A = this chain, B = another copy of it.
Amino acid sequence: MSRSGSHSHRVRRWCLIAAVVAVWVQQVEGVWPLPQQLHQSADRDCLSPQRFSFTYGRDSAAQTGCSVLDAAFKRYFSIIFPDFTTLSGLLILSNDVVLMFVVADMLSVSEGQAVLRSVSVWGALRGVTSCLLSLLFFYFINKTEIVDFPRFAFRGLLLDTSRHYLPLYAILKTLDAMAYSKLNVFHWHIVDDPSFPYQSRTFPDLSNKGAFHPFTHIYTQSDVIRVIEHARMRGIRVVPEFDSPGHTQSWGKGQPGLLTPCYKGSVPSGSFGPVDPTVDTTYKFMESLLKEVKFVFPDSYVHLGGDEVSFACWQSNPNVRKFMEKMGFGKDFTKLESFYMESIMNMTAALNKTSIVWQDVFDYHERIPQDTVLEIWKGAKYQTELSRMTQAGHRVLLSAPWYINHISYGQDWRNSYAVQPQNFSGTDEQKKLVIGGEVAMWGEYVDATNLSPRLWPRACAAAERLWSNEEKTLNADLAFPRLKEFRCELLRYWKYVCNYSL
C-alpha cells in the first residue's frame, strides 16, 4: 500500500469509505460500532478453517502484496481459528467459503461467497473488522448484509505519555483496541510538564535531561517508527502533540534559555514559566523541532497545543514587559500568546502540515489560519463553543465530554454515549465543520498498571458515537448487550493476537 498522494486528499478519501459486505455472521450483538445498515437472514452455514479463505476479487485494485490487507487477513484468520493457527501456523487456501475483497467500484454477491466492497483499502480493512468480530469462536454463520461508512472522519484517542510513562506494549495494545473499535487517530500527547520522553535526534538533551529516566523512560526513534507502523497497518493515523508555550517545564531542562525566567521583584526567582516568546532563539528552536517532527511523523496533522498558559511568570519578567510595550500589546497577555501561536502555526503551514490547537488559541485570537483545526476541551458550554468556532468557519474536534480519565462508579460509558456532537445552534454547513472528536485519557492517575481497564470498554461509547448513525444509537439500554459482547471479543482479540516482542 503506497502512502503517496497529498495528505488532505487522503483525509477526504477516508470520509468516503463505503463498504458493502455480504457475509454470514453469527451474532449481530457483537458488532461495535453499529454499522449504518445491517440485514441478517436466518440462513446458516458452518465454517471450518479448511474451507475458509480470504481472496482478492478479480477486479480489485488491491491484490496480494497490499501489505495492510495481507497482514489483516493473517491477523483475523488467527482470531477466527485460534487453535488452528496455533497448531499449523498456516493459512489454508481453499474455495469453499471465500471472503472476497473488491477494492473497486463494482459489487458481486454469489452464493457460498462473502464479498466486501470498498472504495479504499482502509474501508476494506474496517470491513474485515466488522465481519469477523462476530465470527470469533463460532463456527456457525448467518447470512448478513452490511452497508457501512463512518459518520465522522476523525475518530481520535489521546494518550498522555508525559504525566506517566507508558511502555511501548501499552501503546500497541491500545492501538489494537482502537482498530477494533474503528477509532482511526492516535493523538499522542507525547510530552508535557512532567517529562519529555521523546528522544529527539536534533535535541537529544530534551529527553536526556527531561525524561523520567534517560534510557528506560523514553521513546527512541525506532519506538516511534514501530508505533506509527503498527498504527498504519490498522488504519490509524498518528498525530503527535508538541504542546507549547505552556506545559513545557520538562523542555526547559534540556534546552536552557527556552523558558521564561520568572522574577521575584527585580531578580530572577530561579523558577521558569512558559516558553519565552520574546527571543529569536525560541523560534529557531521551535522551527528545528517542528522540522524533525515533520520528518518523523508522516501524518498531515500536527497538534501544537496552546492550552492553559499561565501569564503570571511572563508578567513578572521585565524583558517580557518591555517586549509587550514595543509590540503595543498593552497589558493583554493573550495577545502575546497569540503572537507566539501565530508564529508557530505559520511555521507549521510552511512545512506543509495542518495545525490542530486547543480551544484557548481560538478564544484568545479569532483571526487564526482558516485551515487550523480547533479542539474543544473545556467542559462547560461546549455547545456554544461549537457554534462560535464553526461560525468562524473553522473545522472542529470535540473532546470536552470525552475526558474519560475522569472515572466514576458504575456504567459511566453512558455519559459518553449520550453526547451529540452536532447538537448545537448552527447551519448545516456549520455542522459539517465538526470533523470528529477525541476520547482523552490524561495521565495524572494512569500508567501501564491501569490504562487498559480504564480505557476499555469505556472508550467504545465515543467510538460508536463517532462512527454510527446517531438516530439508531441513541438508546444506551439497547446498546448495552452489544457492548458487553464487544468487550469479551476485545479480550479474546488481545489474548490471541497481541504478542508483542518487546
Contact = CB atoms under 8 A, between A and B. Distances in A.
B453 A450 contact: yes
A408 interface: yes
A65 interface: no
Given A450-B453, A452-B449, A408 B408 contact: yes
Contacts of A500: none
A416 to B, nearest CB: 15
Contacts of A453: 449-450, 453-454
Of A406, A453, A491, most B-chain CB atoms within 10 Å: A453
A405 B409 CA distance: 8
A137 interface: no
A423 B7 CA distance: 66
A491 B167 CA distance: 15
A445 B412 CA distance: 11
A408 B407 contact: yes
A374 to B, nearest CB: 26
A92 to B, nearest CB: 29
Contacts of A408: 407-409
A355 to B, nearest CB: 31
A265 interface: no
How many of chain A's residues touch chain B, expressed as a range? 10 to 19
A256 interface: no
A410 interface: yes
Nearest to A452: B449
Contact of A406 (B409, B444, B449, B450): B409
Interface in A406-447: 406-411, 444-445
A375 to B, nearest CB: 21
A407 B445 CA distance: 13
A445 B409 CA distance: 9
Contacts of A454: 453
A315 B10 CA distance: 68
Nearest to A408: B408
Interface in A380-423: 405-411
A270 to B, nearest CB: 23
Contacts of A450: 450, 453
A406 B410 CA distance: 8
A407 to B, nearest CB: 5
A407 B406 contact: no
Contacts of A445: 409-411
Interface string A128-158: 0000000000000000000000000000000
Contacts of A452: 449
Contacts of A491: 449
Nearest to A451: B453
Nearest to A446: B453
Contacts of A411: 445
A43 to B, nearest CB: 30
A428 to B, nearest CB: 37
A409 B444 CA distance: 10
A180 to B, nearest CB: 15
A443 to B, nearest CB: 13
Contacts of A444: 410
A491 B408 CA distance: 24
Nearest to A449: B453
Contacts of A449: 452-453, 491
Nearest to A406: B409
A411 to B, nearest CB: 8
Interface string A332-358: 000000000000000000000000000
Of A406, A407, A452, most B-chain CB atoms within 10 Å: A407
A491 B164 CA distance: 15
Interface of A: 405-411, 444-445, 449-450, 452-454, 491
18 contacts: A405-B409, A406-B409, A407-B407, A407-B408, A407-B409, A408-B408, A408-B409, A409-B445, A410-B444, A410-B445, A411-B445, A449-B452, A449-B453, A449-B491, A450-B450, A450-B453, A453-B453, A453-B454
Q: List the 10 closest A-B pairs by CB distance, nearest first.
A: A450-B453, A406-B409, A449-B453, A407-B409, A407-B407, A408-B408, A453-B453, A410-B445, A449-B491, A408-B409
Given A408-B409, A410-B444, 9 more contacts: A406-B409, A407-B407, A407-B409, A410-B445, A411-B445, A449-B452, A449-B453, A449-B491, A453-B453
